[in-house]
Structure 1
Amino acid sequence: MNHRHGESRRRFRLRHLLCAAAPVALIGAASPALAQIDEIVVQARGQEESVRDIPVAITAVGQEQMEKFSLTSLQDVAANTPQLSIVRGSSGSGASISIRGVGSTYTSIGIEQSVAVILDGVYYPQGRVIDEGMFDVSQVAILKGPQALYFGKNATAGALAITTNDPGNEFEALARVGYEFEQQRLVGEAMVSVPVTDKVGVRLALRGTKMFGGYIENNAADTTYTTRDRANGNLATVHQNPASSEKQYPGTESLYGRLTVKGTPSDRFTYTLKGSFADVYNNSPTGHFERWRCPTLNGVPHLNVGGVPVPNAQAECKGDWKHANNPIPGTLAASNPLLGRFGGELGDKYKSYGITGNFNLDMDYVDLTAIVNYHNQKNAWVGDHDGGGSTTTMAAERNSFENISTEVRAVTKLDEPLNFVLGFYYQNTTRNFLQDVIFAGAEDSSVAPEYRYTAYRKLSATDGETASVYAEMIWDITDEWQLTGGARYLHETKRSFFEQPYVNGNLVGIFEPNTRLNSDLAFNDVSPEATLRWQPTSDLTLYVAYKQGFKSGGFSNSGIYSASSIDPREDFEFQPEGVEGFEGGVKTSFFNGSLDFELEGYYYKFKNLQLDFFNSPTFAYQTENAGSAKTTGAEMQATWRPDGIDGLTFSGSLAYNIGKYIDFEAPCYAGQTPAQGCNIFAGYALPTKQELGGHPRSSAPKWSGSLMADYETPVGNGLVLGVSGNVQFKSKYFLSAFGNPFDVQKSYATLDAAIRLGTEDGAWQLAVIGKNLTNKYAMLVSSEVPGTGGLTGTPGGFVADRYGVSTLPRTIEIQLTWRY
């Protein structure tokens, strides 16, 4: 075998380690974010196994970048990455994660993310993974487009591969304290890494936060809630509800920990064990939402009173980081354990723990890897869901999710043109869901005390099991040409049930009581992909790829069993989501490696996109499958280190993306008239659907990009001064997946900046970090305010008020870091 072929083989092995385990150094060299990180760039440039060898569209954010801009959550990473969008939800799966405008709706707890989240090689299907700690992380790699082979289960839109640090061969320690002035947030972080022996190392990392303020002002006043006792002739009782003691949201408190043990018993065998926990509290699941647009009464909030929009004096609609959240009336909180979990106040509590084992055996002709994981998460919340200052709609929930997974992979390293990858993946999951909803003045003193003020209770569970195998062939056709092709076969089952064990008697005509809906689903799929790569020189890579992706269907545990639904099963069960298409790109460098440049283009067609929608006419959540959609675009990213100016780095990205529905018979939005497109009859007396073919999808700006600059220079006395700035922009985009013309965010830009002073040896550093310095207010997602909008499907329809989640306002943080 000639020398060039040996280099190609080593590049192959590294590429699959990168894709399969998402390790640290070498993805980052060509990404805008990681070009600033000297040690990663040196490691990458010191080997031919550069990111330019990998025929995948990647953006990576490394440890230095995260520290420079205090990126301590996936939402922070998304705010720094224009093609990535992450929005925290108030219920359901807890978050929506999108890449290139493709993602899953957060309102259904049963929908898994279209963007896979991979933490230390382990697939996490739930959106609440955003509550896991982003601390002591070496890298977040953002892989765009379908990922069929190397990420547990398939990902139709992309993957976020997060890698945490392992212990090294030398003693390390870190202590960091920070304070953010706008939210009054105190942060503490500590790490110690010890080489116990020359074969075993231990690393312990901890992070804690305490927010004494918040970024949303709670302007709710004293209110009342009137109930009518069905057992006593609907006698009215007025319950006093004093204003909440919580005046700012989210009031986050968190504590995270991770213990890592890494051993190398021999030159051929390595194991890594990671145990972690997360404990996160926010003082409301709905406090970060805000009523921001009220089109029906020209900016005045309203309520639907008997089919007439009536001004709501207890709400405001200004888009100014102010919102009204009421607590739970004391009598209701005392009677119901779910409602009273936080003593009558609102709250959102997330707790999780997990352990991951990663085992690697290096044999003469094959490398074997096994990844085993157990993860358990519990979430409980109490929320005010009326979208304004009145006490009308409340809910409380308790849910849990348990995940056990195993992956085994073999990668050959034959001294031949052909090499192979073979893998097996198994996952077993259990989800439990319980929710009480309080509204419409429901009361019944003749039932159990916990049901007295409950409008309806929802109970659901899903047991899931997945088994899949995947294989890939790697053929080095010549020294310059390489062809890879592979496929994943997946078999998945989901056994679910849903029932409403209690419904207030006055609401039985709206909600179906005591009827158990059982679901037994099974899915099978084969997803292939193939890539042709040409490397005429070590500085130039061109590639073209065909890819498919698949995400199983399922069961919407958090739906509503509506008495008026024609087929309730259709409201709960949803079909698999699929995608196929092409992408290609060029990765190169100029000027002796001082300029890295990447350009990718793509076209993907999606089938049965999974979306969740609250259908006001039937008073039910419906998990819809959009018939078909497409995503077409191109992305460019570059990193430049000008000759002659040591310590200066520029990086930037620019993306053009067209995301549209091709065919989607979607539910009408609240208040949509026939003239506005609500003209499709679906078994009801009035039209309830619209055709959205050709309409843009949500979270899919046509243009987006970023421009970053970083400069570090010695200033004498062994000190280094660093300055960083980052501008991100997005053009106009839709906020709702269902075509509401008022759910539109205009183009905007945000500015982050940081300045830091520290010693040349990194022993200590003082930094000041600012985010969204221009205090730009922009919406990330929007939906209908309950109890607003009406007469859908009629000429007299009036649109619901809009509320949603915005960008965070300006923050200024000071940090002091000590390292050994």
Structure 2
Amino acid sequence: MNRHQAARRAVSTLNRVLFATVPPALLLTSAALSPALAQIEQVVVQARGQEESVRDIPVAITAVGEEQMEKFAVKSLEDIAAIAPQLTIVRGGSGSGASISIRGIQSNSTSIGIEQSVAVILDGVYYPQGRVIDEGLFDVRQVAILKGPQALYFGKNATAGVLSIETNDPGSEFESMARIGYELEQERLAGEAMISVPITDKFGVRLAVRGTKMFGGYIENNAGPTTYTTTDAATFQQTVHPNDGPTEDRFPAEESIYARLTMKGTPSDRFTYTLKGSFADYRISTTQGTELFACPALNGQPHASVADPNNPGFNMPVPNLDAECVPDWRGAQNPIPPDIAATDPLLSWFGNQLGEEYRSWAVTGKFDFDLDPVDVTAVVNYHRQRTNWVGDFDGGGATSTFAGEHSTFQNFSTEVRAVTKFDFPLNAVLGVYYQDTHRFFNQDVIFSGAENSAVTDPTRRFVAYDKFSETDGETISVYGELIWDITDRLQLTGGLRYLHETKDSYFIQPYVNPFFTGIFYQGYMLEADQTFNDASPEATLRWEPTDNLTLYVAYKEGFKSGGFSNSAIHSTLTIVNNDPSTSLPDFVFAPEHVKGFEGGVKAALLDGTLNLEFEAYHYKFKDLQIDFFNSPTFAFITENAGGAKTDGAELQFTWTPPAMTGLTLTGSLAYNIAKYTDFIAPCYAGQKPSEGCDLPISPGEVPKQQLGGQQRALAPKWAGSFGVDYETPVGDGFLIGLSTNVKFKTKHRLGGFNNPYDVQGSYATLDASVRFGNEGGNWEFAVIGKNLTNKYALLSAGDTPGTGGNTGFANGFVADRYGTPIVGRTIEFQFTWRY
């Protein structure tokens, strides 16, 4: 039996079990079932500087616990997004490495200098870079999704929300776990182990490790042997370079190793410390899991543009016969010709193959002091990450456009927070936060047959242009909140965070091949010393008329500092009067602001068997940070959108029906309108005046359009989920568990520049799992299926480099569209042993 037959049989078996067992279970009302009420356990998270029940916190929260993550084999933030309707995470090949979106508010992944509008907090520490998604989720206690601005308690930059991840600590009893899993479609082998030892009654140690090896991938690679012809700028001699096909027929093959050591001690009743050291090594066989899905310029045939920067009307599309353009989980990713890769360390990081390697080291210390009547918490962290990647960016099967990159990021941060515990109605929180960062960026790009035998540095012989950039950042922030218990049931809180941040940056393209000096500027150093100051207030009124009901209304503001786009491109086409400094506005960007209101109701009904949460919100954003790729000229432009807003509401429920022990139903329904209110934006590649690309522009500017009133990307009007979980004893001392989760999204845009082809229709996905083990929980065998209906949908869309042209003219032609599809159907077999 081959793996595809095994996958089909596993799907068939899983579906028979689910549809034969779960629907009758939902109808059972037998008196033989225990009539005892299974009250829902209260979920505790840290959203306001201290641990509180989700039911009591006046914040819109979706919490995903360890048990739920295990049922659906959630091992990454991307897996979390796959089960949470209003969260979308898109992996990016270049730039920051990811785009994280909540309620249709996100930051582009294409700029390494733009930090995420959705802040990721790992064990109380803010991780600025999008590549934090490569850290993986293993031995995690909980992931909390906090929606809307969270400026007061979460370091900085949480204008759209927060993903708060809490890993497990050592316990008071010995624990150990080993797990092995195998996924059929991607041929992924995964192993995980944990041991937690209480050395004494006051000190414990916990070690967790996880490793994966993927022998395939979810996108077929159609690239085959090709050639690459270079033209020497010094001699005009042409050379043909053979290029074998890729070594892997599917991508992105994944390989990872993770480890975390935790030590926790309680020397006294008034002092607790927790020390965590972690390591991550994540590799994939290409920089991105993308494919061409729409090619409108030539009616479905991919194309390449013939560029003449001095005569925009001359650009005409020509067929690219080495690519297909069908949304079908098939793409073409070529390696680099071996003799060319051997000349450049950045391009030969993986031999001559493509790939990405992310390595990080982190040490975190948390120190809790009970200094009655004040609790003091201090968190100190040092984090270093290194990323190397080599990518194919032409979108087709020809050997054409490649880049190699090396970047590092260092982050040191510390936070000290004091919370008073006075007996009288007024208490306070006071905190201070400090962060010091350093980013280094280096990239080499080859395309269009560039060669120069006259270079003094042989590593640049085949480079079209290279880039270096650095940013040093420092942040000092103080915050405080007053908590007034007006009565035992009514509480008013008001707080403010003040932030002072500096960023000192430079960017330079030291070398440009002589053939391209008319497009890319060589040798000029762009510099920016930026300072940002902000005060963000927040106020919340919370009323608890009963122990099981919480109502709240809040006013919030948020701030994300501006910065410098280290990964941009210095194009001669954007300078004015031959002055290279006039390109600086394409690199620097202003802060992002948000303010608005939200309110909600949280209730425990039916004797605690039904939890309901409802919230409504209205937020206005100013100067959203946007990165735009001008594909015909290979130029990035970082801008601020004038204004945007989000309006909506969300309902969540968890119900354990009293008539049936072991059954839990969950669901959510979200309504969201996220639109630009004012944005003079770049036109998408090939956009015509008749299509809205008709605004007057200044010399050096790209054609512009007004996006006011247009829907933002990744903002479906409706999104939701429905889940069923059932667990029951069977036989003599055994348990069987069944879980399903359906998630849906309605039609929405994939890109933010009004391209009519960047639209994803409504779709739904189905995940399910079947588990069998002993009642003591010592062992469990599970079959876990994701996207069981094999639904194809896209998470993102972008312009294929070098395609599209004549933007702003009547004869414009649209760039070929590439995007990131969701992962197709997967079936994983998993065995877990615990002691």
Distance 2:607 2:297 in 1: 60
CA contact (8 A) 1:679 1:687 kept: no
- Secondary structure of 2:650's aligned partner: strand
Deviates more, 1:419-428 or 1:289-298: 289-298
Distance 2:285 2:544 in 1: 54
How far residue 44 of structure 1 moved from its aligned partner, in angstroms, is 6.5
Give the partner amino acid of 2:210. R
Distance 2:441 2:78 in 1: 26
Distance 1:457 1:181 in 2: 41
Q: Which residue is equivalent to 1:41?
A: 41
Q: Which residue is equivalent to 2:354?
A: 346
Distance 2:537 2:40 in 1: 33
How far residue 619 of structure 1 moved from its aligned partner, in angstroms, is 3.6
Distance 1:655 1:199 in 2: 45
- 1:144/1:685 CA distance change after superposition, 3 Å: closer
Q: Which residue is equivalent to 2:552?
A: 543
- Secondary structure of 1:569's aligned partner: helix
In structure 1, list runs of 5 or more residues that go unmatched.
1-37
CA contact (8 A) 2:805 2:813 kept: yes
Distance 1:425 1:409 in 2: 9
Distance 1:154 1:785 in 2: 30
Q: 1:37-77 CA distances to partner (integer Å, 9 max, x unpaired)?
A: x99816779xx963221100000100000000000000000
Residue 470 of structure 1, aligned match among 476, 479, 488: 479
- Secondary structure of 1:399's aligned partner: strand
2:418 paired with 1:410: yes
- Secondary structure of 2:67's aligned partner: helix
- 1:53/1:481 CA distance change after superposition, 3 Å: same
After TM superposition, list the pairs within 5 Å mapping 1:589-738 onto structure 2.
589-616=604-631, 618-684=633-699, 688-738=703-753
Q: Which residue is equivalent to 2:593?
A: 578
- Secondary structure of 2:573's aligned partner: coil
Deviates more, 1:149-158 or 1:396-405: 149-158
Residue 534 of structure 1, aligned match among 523, 538, 543: 543
Distance 1:744 1:584 in 2: 31
CA contact (8 A) 2:88 2:100 kept: yes
2:282 paired with 1:267: no
2:532 paired with 1:523: yes
CA contact (8 A) 1:767 1:815 kept: yes
Residue 469 of structure 2, aligned match among 460, 464, 479: 460
Deviates more, 1:780-789 or 1:304-313: 304-313
How far residue 684 of structure 1 moved from its aligned partner, in angstroms, is 3.7
Q: How many residues align?
A: 779
Residue 603 of structure 2, aligned match among 588, 594, 597: 588
- Secondary structure of 1:461's aligned partner: strand
After TM superposition, list the pairs within 5 Å mapping 1:339-378 onto structure 2.
339-378=347-386
Deviates more, 1:655-664 or 1:51-60: 51-60
Residue 452 of structure 2, aligned match among 444, 448, 457: 444
CA contact (8 A) 1:565 1:618 kept: no
Q: Which residue is equivalent to 1:764?
A: 779
- 1:543/1:434 CA distance change after superposition, 3 Å: same
Q: Which residue is equivalent to 1:514?
A: 523
Distance 1:508 1:791 in 2: 21
Q: Which residue is equivalent to 1:240?
A: 242
CA contact (8 A) 1:627 1:665 kept: yes
How far residue 251 of structure 1 moved from its aligned partner, in angstroms, is 1.1
Q: Which residue is equivalent to 1:14?
A: none
- Secondary structure of 2:342's aligned partner: helix
2:828 paired with 1:813: yes
How far residue 617 of structure 1 moved from its aligned partner, in angstroms, is 5.6
CA contact (8 A) 1:681 1:687 kept: no
2:449 paired with 1:434: no
Q: 1:196-216 CA distances to partner (integer Å, 9 max, x unpaired)?
A: 011100000000000011111
> TM-score if structure 2 supplies the norm length?
0.92
- Secondary structure of 2:351's aligned partner: coil
Residue 280 of structure 2, aligned match among 278, 287, 290: 278
Q: Which residue is equivalent to 1:87?
A: 90
How far residue 154 of structure 1 moved from its aligned partner, in angstroms, is 3.6
Q: 1:186-236 CA distances to partner (integer Å, 9 max, x unpaired)?
A: 00000000000111000000000000111111110111111110111x111
- Secondary structure of 2:584's aligned partner: helix
Distance 1:681 1:128 in 2: 38
Distance 2:684 2:44 in 1: 50
How far residue 564 of structure 1 moved from its aligned partner, in angstroms, is 1.8
Give the partner amino acid of 1:582. F
CA contact (8 A) 1:304 1:790 kept: yes
Q: Which residue is equivalent to 2:579?
A: none
CA contact (8 A) 2:43 2:63 kept: no
Q: 1:769-797 CA distances to partner (integer Å, 9 max, x unpaired)?
A: 00000000100000001121111110000
After TM superposition, list the pairs within 5 Å mapping 1:19-418 onto structure 2.
41=41, 50-232=53-235, 234-286=236-288, 288-305=289-306, 307-418=315-426
Distance 2:370 2:701 in 1: 66
Distance 1:222 1:39 in 2: 62
Deviates more, 1:73-82 or 1:583-592: 583-592
CA contact (8 A) 2:40 2:611 kept: no
- Secondary structure of 2:268's aligned partner: coil
Q: 1:695-748 CA distances to partner (integer Å, 9 max, x unpaired)?
A: 000000000000000000000211000000000000001000111111000000
How far residue 616 of structure 1 moved from its aligned partner, in angstroms, is 3.8
2:567 paired with 1:552: no
Q: 1:623-674 CA distances to partner (integer Å, 9 max, x unpaired)?
A: 1100000000000001111112000000100000000000000001000000
Distance 1:617 1:201 in 2: 58
CA contact (8 A) 1:327 1:346 kept: yes
CA contact (8 A) 2:540 2:552 kept: yes
- Secondary structure of 2:339's aligned partner: helix
In structure 2, list runs of 5 or more residues that go unmatched.
1-37, 46-50, 308-314, 576-581
CA contact (8 A) 2:176 2:195 kept: yes
How far residue 615 of structure 1 moved from its aligned partner, in angstroms, is 2.0
Give the partner amino acid of 1:277. F
How far residue 238 of structure 1 moved from its aligned partner, in angstroms, is 1.1
Q: Which residue is equivalent to 1:16?
A: none
CA contact (8 A) 1:89 1:107 kept: yes
- 1:39/1:639 CA distance change after superposition, 3 Å: closer
- 1:686/1:599 CA distance change after superposition, 3 Å: closer
Distance 2:708 2:632 in 1: 22
Distance 1:686 1:701 in 2: 32
Q: 1:393-423 CA distances to partner (integer Å, 9 max, x unpaired)?
A: 1000000000000000000000010000000
Give the partner amino acid of 1:358. K
CA contact (8 A) 1:303 1:312 kept: yes
Q: 1:507-547 CA distances to partner (integer Å, 9 max, x unpaired)?
A: 11111101011110000000000000111101111100000
How far residue 373 of structure 1 moved from its aligned partner, in angstroms, is 0.1
How far residue 300 of structure 1 moved from its aligned partner, in angstroms, is 1.7
How far residue 750 of structure 1 moved from its aligned partner, in angstroms, is 0.1
Give the partner amino acid of 1:249. F
Distance 1:259 1:678 in 2: 55
How far residue 147 of structure 1 moved from its aligned partner, in angstroms, is 0.4
Residue 815 of structure 2, aligned match among 772, 776, 800: 800
Distance 1:178 1:376 in 2: 30
Give the partner amino acid of 1:509. G
Distance 1:154 1:459 in 2: 26
> TM-score if structure 1 supplies the norm length?
0.94
CA contact (8 A) 1:597 1:637 kept: yes
Distance 1:698 1:42 in 2: 35
How far residue 265 of structure 1 moved from its aligned partner, in angstroms, is 0.1
Give the partner amino acid of 1:461. E
Distance 1:225 1:370 in 2: 56
- Secondary structure of 1:296's aligned partner: helix
- 1:163/1:680 CA distance change after superposition, 3 Å: same
How far residue 804 of structure 1 moved from its aligned partner, in angstroms, is 1.1
Give the partner amino acid of 2:250. Q
